[in-house]
Structure 1
Amino acid sequence: MAIENIPEIYIKDSKPNPDVFVYDFKMATDVIKSKVNLSMHMFSFLQVGKKQVHFADTSVAVNKNQSLLLKKGNWLWTELLDADANYFCKLLFFSEDKLLEFLNKHEDSHQANEDEIAYFVIENDSYINAYINSLSTISKAPAIFKDNLLFVKFEEIMLYLINKYGSKFKQYLQSLISKEISPFKTVIESNVYSNLKLEEIAFLCHMSLSTFKRHFINEYKVSPGKWIKDKRLKKAKETLEQGHLKPSDIYFDFGYNNLSNFSIAFKNKFGINPSDIAS
């Protein structure tokens, strides 16, 4: 699967990325876990459809009643159509330089937050809905005014969210200031019980699959496929032993495309069928 460089693929000319940029993203087919290299921080104001994103050590899903602020980096995006077969979100990108300019102007002091906070979920309200509509108006403005208007609108949404969420949002903004990428093992162990494939976890580690496998063996002294498979099967067994779910409820969550493959792997590991535990 090709990696999409965003927002570069949305910028029509060859100039460097602007400090603030708006793009209307529309889609007519579902896209499952596309690989995205996000080079700017980004607001995703979802208006029609559903969205799920995976970062290095976390994931989140939102609907049209919510918006997301995502930090730059490598993401896996799943975007699903609504009932009327449409998907639409308004994307607002901003550079780290613009973020630092904002913090210097509106905060007495700031420093990089050591916590890794990949996203911030925003609950849409009447103000935010009106704000989204105003971005559509700006997109129609003459080019000579558009950049300055966007800078004003960027400050507006930042100030509103600080007022709405207080210190929680301020801490998130501090976390966007560049620092070293998440430790390799944190990424692995945060995704071990997900349904992500090895190449998808490697992407979240900013590595090719071959480099990821070498690094994994150096860290864990075993191949990643065997280690992750064993971990997921043990967790699946624990889940079934709780008696609330059936094998058909959980096989996909532990990385299997169908119940048959899950049952075979489970029996090879434990000597019994998963249905024997659930029954």
Structure 2
Amino acid sequence: MSIENIPEIYINNTKESPELFVYDFKMTSDVVKSKVILGMNMFSFLQVGIKQVHFAGTSVVVNKDQSLLLKKGNWLWTELLDTETIYYCKLFFFSENKLKEFLEKHTTKKQIIKHEIPYFIIKNDAYIISYLNSLSTISEVPSVFRERLLSVKFEELLLYLLQKYGRKFELYLDSLVREESSTFKKVLESKINANLKLEEIAFLCHMSLSTFKRHFIKEYKTSPGKWLQDMRLQKAKEILEQGHLKPSDIYLDYGYHNLSNFSIAFKNKFGCNPSEI
């Protein structure tokens, strides 16, 4: 699977490096777990469809009633059509310089609190819908004025979200201008239940598959495939012991394509069939 560098692939003149950039993304077929290197922080205003994203230590799903603010870095994106025949998302990219200018102007320095989550969910309320309509008209403005207008619109948006979400949103913005490197173990252990391939987990760790395997064996003293299988089977056993779900309800969630293979692996590890739990 190829890797997409965003927003670079959307910029016509590759010599340009705009600090603010708006792009209307549309598609007519589903995309599952596309590898994306996000070079700028980005608002993803979902208009039609369903979006799921995986980052280093987390994942989130939103529909057309919600939008996301995403931290730059390596992501896996799944974008699905809903009831319509088209997927539509308005993307608003911004540089760290623009964000720092805003924070210096509109916030006061407080004690730094670490913010772990690389996304922020925004409700598409009446204001956001109206804002997006006004943002759409900027594309019709002569380019000489567009950058200044985008700066005003960027500041307007952040001020509104600060007013709506308060300290929680301010902490998130602060996290975007601070370097926070996710540890290898944290990334890996957060993806036990994510049903991702090793190659996809390696991508989220910013590693090639071969480097990932070497690092894993050094850290865990076993192969990543065996470790993930054991951990997923252990999680599956814990779920079954709660008594709410059957093996046929969960085998896909733990990386098995059919119930028979799940049952064989489960019995080999625990000495009994999953249906006996």
Common fold, TM-score beyond 0.5? yes
Q: Which residue of 2 aligns with 1:221?
A: 221
Alignment partners' CA distance in 2, 1:136 and 1:207: 38
1:184 deviation in Å? 0.9
Counterpart of 1:157 in structure 2 is 157
Aligned position for 1:265 = 265
| Residue 121 (structure 1) aligns with | 121
Query: How far is 1:275 from its partner?
Result: 2.5
Counterpart CA distance in 2 for 1:6 and 1:193 is 27
The aligned residue for residue 95 of structure 1 is 95
Partner of 1:175: 175
Distance 2:28 2:211 in 1: 35
**Contact 1:49 1:88 (C-alpha < 8 Å) held by counterparts:** yes
What's the CA shift string for 1:70-103, capped at 9, x where partnerless?
0000001111101122210100000111111111
Q: How does 1:72-151 map to 2 (within 5 A)?
A: 72-109=72-109, 113-151=113-151
Tell me the distance in 2 between the aligned counterparts of 1:259 and 1:9. 41
Task: Please report how far the alpha carbon of residue 56 of structure 1 lies from its aligned counterpart in structure 2 after TM superposition.
Answer: 0.4
1:240-251 → structure 2 map (5 Å cutoff) = 240-251=240-251
Secondary structure, in 3 states, of the residue corresponding to 1:35? Answer: strand
Distance 1:85-1:265 versus aligned 2 partners, 3 A rule? farther
Match of 1:185 in 2: 185
Query: Which residue identity is paired with 2:114?
Result: E
Give yes or no for the alignment of 1:60 onto 2:60: yes
- Tell me the CA shift for residue 142 of structure 1: 1.4
Structure 2 counterpart SS, 1:163: helix
Stretch moving more, 196-205 or 249-258: 249-258
Aligned amino acid, residue 245 of structure 2: L
Deviations 1:175-233 (A, max 9, x none): 11131411111111111222111111111100001101111111111111111110100
- AA partner of residue 172 (structure 2): Y
| Cα distance, 1:267 vs structure 2 | 2.3
Provide the C-alpha distance between the structure 2 equivalents of 1:121 and 1:90, rounded to a whole number of angstroms: 15
- What is the deviation of 1:169? 0.3
TM-score, normalised to structure 2, is 0.96
CA distance in 2, matches of 1:87, 1:51: 9
2: distance between equivalents of 1:71 and 1:113?
A: 17
Alignment root-mean-square deviation, CA? 1.4
The normalised TM-score by structure 1 is: 0.95
Could you list the runs of 5+ residues in structure 2 that have no partner in the other structure? none
Structure 1 CA distance for aligned equivalents of residues 27 and 159 of structure 2: 31
For residues 197 and 112 of structure 1, the distance between their equivalents in structure 2, rounded to whole angstroms, comes to: 36
**Following the alignment from structure 2 to structure 1, what is the Cα–Cα distance between the partners of residues 224 and 153?**
46
Does the C-alpha gap of structure 1 residues 111 and 40 become closer, same or farther in structure 2, counting only changes over 3 Å?
Answer: farther
Question: Secondary structure at 2:177's aligned position in 1?
Answer: coil
Partner of 1:203: 203
Distance in 1 of aligned mates of 2:112 and 2:216:
29
Q: Residue 171 of structure 1 aligns to which amino acid in structure 2?
A: L
**What is the CA–CA distance in structure 2 between the aligned matches of 1:207 and 1:16, rounded to whole Å?**
28
Q: Structure 1 stretches of 5 or more lacking a match?
A: none
Alignment-mate amino acid for residue 129 of structure 2: N
Deviations 1:118-168 (A, max 9, x none): 000011110000001111111121111111111111101000000000000
Number of equivalenced pairs? 277
Q: Is the 8 A contact 1:3 1:36 kept in 2?
A: yes
Conserved 8 A contact 2:115-2:171: no
Which amino acid in 2 is paired with 1:202?
A
How far apart are 1:111 and its partner, in Å? 7.7
Using the alignment, how far apart are the partners of 1:77 and 1:146 within structure 2? 29
- Name the SS of the counterpart of 1:139 in structure 2: helix
Question: In 2, are the aligned partners of 1:113 and 1:177 still within 8 Å (CA)?
Answer: no
Could you tell me how far apart the structure 1 residues matched to 2:210 and 2:86 are? 37
